[in-house]
Structure 1
Amino acid sequence: MNDAQQPPATGAPPPAAPAALEAIIEQARKARQHHTEDTFRRLGRGERLSAEQIYDTLHAHTVCTWWLLVARHIEYADSGGLRPAQAIARFISWIAPYATDPTPPEPATQAPAPGADTERAAALDHLERSLALVRQNAARAFLTQAETLAPACFRQQTPDTSAGQEATA
């Protein structure tokens, strides 16, 4: 296939994707765009970002990235693309463990004497916990949406299923 025949790399769902999948991908893209624009608008005005704004932006980016990867797998995986149900089943098996990952423990509330290294370490501990919670919630949102597209694939995934095994659709 020459360059003139290749589809543009726009992140758009592949033409073979069902309408419901296209709608979910478009919704995820719009949410990501909305939160990104809001973040940059606030930063441009010199405003501080709230934890809620950062959380919502990271959540939207995570969910959107996963759906765009599903679309990419449908179009390009295994040199011929995958059926949508196969791609969704594959991502269900890859993302499901995030929904049940144990939440890291609360960082210690009593920090040693203040200092740049101590403050950085404490901030990183809190951020690591926060990111784990964002991933868990994003995984639950993704799996809920995926279940509407491929309920049979979703039911085949059990807690015993290895993250490396894909359900067949």
Structure 2
Amino acid sequence: MVTLADLQNRDAVADAAARAWRIAAAVPDPEVPVLTIEDLGVLRDVSVDGDRVAVTITPTYSGCPAMDTIADDVVLALTDAGFGEVDVKLTLAPAWTTDWMSDAGKAKLSEYGIAPPTGRAPVAGPIRLQLAVKCPRCGSLDTREVARFASTSCKALYECRACLEPFDHFKVH
């Protein structure tokens, strides 16, 4: 038999978990501060057990130097919001993919001057080649890759031949 107290406790736990998710989700990415870790798809799970919060994050690649900062920022945000114990777990499987980025996050990247990833990460079969990357400033497709790695390893450096501006492109992976 489920009592009223059981239902109220279940609702309280669900409310606390939703609140903890909102707080963790709002943590900005230290490398691209216009994105939150939710926009980026790095935030994977948040669970609450009493006063304890467990957060799972996945790096954009296994050597991502921002993960320690993100973990510290998540702990700080949740403890500042009144949660007692916060445990941030890093998981590498399944591997992060740009498919996890939100549409809002991709729009924020473009507004910030970084060309967002286009297409989907290959699962099986032929790998699609991207023939052009659209300039986030002027919209031209007359661009060229200058360097395979840009300000971070998950981005490539491009140059627009139309407006002559350099820009980062978030690579699909």
TM-score interval (norm. to shorter)? under 0.3
Flag the structure with higher strand content: 2
TM-score (normalizing by structure 2): 0.26
* Higher relative contact order (Cα pairs below 8 Å, separated by 6+ residues): 1
TM-score (normalizing by structure 1): 0.27
